[in-house]
Amino acid sequence: MIHGHGGNKQLLADRIGCAPEDIIDMSANLNPLGPPKRVHDFIRENIYVIHALPEPDAAGMSKGFADYQGIDPDCVIAGNGTTFFIYALPLALGAKKALILGPTYADYEDACAAHHVNIHHCLTVAENNFVPDLDQLSAKAEQADLVFICNPNNPTGTLIDKQDLETLIHRHPGTCFMVDESYLPFVPEAEEYSLVTQTHLPNLVVLSSMSKIFRIPGLRTGFLTGAKALIQKIMVHYQPWSVNALAQAVIKEIYNHPEDILPFYRQTRAFVAKERRNFVHALAGTQGIRIFDAPVFFVLAQLDRISAAQLCRRVGDDGFLIRDCSNFKGLSDQFVRFSLKTNDINQALAQSIKKALAWEQTKS
Ligand SMILES: Cc1ncc(COP(=O)(O)O)c(C=O)c1O
């Protein structure tokens, strides 16, 4: 397991001498609006579901997602978070050589390493705003049997057009593409970009995390969709009761009210777009920091006068936990990521960043 995931509040709390609850965690990418309203009430009233075993294959939960997406339930598997699939896929597909479009979420590499899969990278660069060179990606995909693409990408926020991805997938029928759409619901017009319904493509699987958009990472829920033949291969490695009873019940409840889902997405999208604009505005003209444009609520920034560790330490003194991105392959100790929250918190972080940069500059 990598030891660089976001969200380690305890470490910072110990350093500055406060309770972990007092830390403002802007290192983990979760919906700043919280879960849909009905989730807490539902859990309170239905806690008794943990007294019985859940469905071993979480079929009811998969059906809810499949119906919402308008696809065959046999093309969907529910998992204990999408992490479950990231680690199952290299083994289930018998992958020998994987290609990862990066810099990206480190667990793809970890999962391949765990199964002794040869790993190659196709890295985008800051000078090109992390926009991928699709010709280069295609040339490298030819050599791989499994390709990992995160869309939109964590941590750069880069979004690839659906058409471009479909062209790539068609061009390499012998290669399986895993497209991780965990952050897509945050993107305006996300439905125009999603490949979830493309289950006729025999060499595509799509991951959809419920953790991020519905802000329920502690429940551990996510889906994999793909062609039936691929689903069958993956099901060979499926452990019964992989998704716990409460998690299954909550997701079924969310999809039992499909009429509320798009309004919730739209409310989230409008909120994060506004907050992103406000945050970028608050830092406009600040020397020593460059913010990359992206249609998501997490913000990748490049520092040119102080290191990521120094900035993390300085804003940490003010109680903010942000993500040092130096352990992302293809990034360096110049990069940090902030996951936006509500306006007052975002503005306070912007002030803390300005103070840290000004302090470090007066020192040098
Ligand atoms: C891009 C991406 N995919 C997948 C995951 C795993 O999420 P989960 O297992 O909660 O669905 C994360 C978690 O941070 C992520 O950033």
Write out pLDDT tens, residues 200-241: 999 999 999 999 999 999 999 999 999 999 999 999 999 999
User: Greater confidence, 295 or 6?
Assistant: 295
Q: What pTM, to 2 d.p., does this model score?
A: 0.96
> What are the backbone dihedrals phi and psi of residue 203, each rounded to the nearest 5 degrees, phi first?
-120, 35
Question: 9-30+261-363 adopts what CATH topology?
Answer: Aspartate Aminotransferase, domain 1 (3.90.1150)
What's the confidence (pLDDT) of residue 8?
A: 81
Torsion of CA 248, 187, 137, 144, to 10 degrees: 0
Cα 287 to ligand 1 centre (Å): 32
* Spatial contact of 336 and 325, defined as CB atoms under 8 Å apart: yes
Atom of ligand 1 minimally distant from the CA of 217: 10
Is the C-beta atom of 222 inside 6 A of ligand 1?
yes
Write out pLDDT tens, residues 142-193: 999 999 999 999 999 999 999 999 999 999 999 999 999 999 999 999 999 9
Which ranges constitute the DSSP H helices of the chain? 9-16, 38-46, 59-69, 82-92, 107-114, 134-141, 162-171, 228-235, 245-255, 261-283, 308-317, 343-363
b (16+ CB within 10 A) / e for 168-194 = bbeebeebbbbbbbbbbbbbeebeebb
Top CATH class of 38-256 equals alpha beta
Residue 221: name the closest of 79, 83, 68 by CA.
79
Domain ranges for the chain, please list them. 9-30+261-363, 38-256
What's the confidence (pLDDT) of residue 124?
A: 98
Q: Best substitution site from 107, 151, 339 to test ligand 1's pocket, by max atoms within 8 Å of Cβ? A: 107
Strand partners, 321: 25
* Spatial contact of 89 and 111, defined as CB atoms under 8 Å apart: yes
CA angle, corner 6, sides to 347 and 86, nearest 5?
Answer: 130
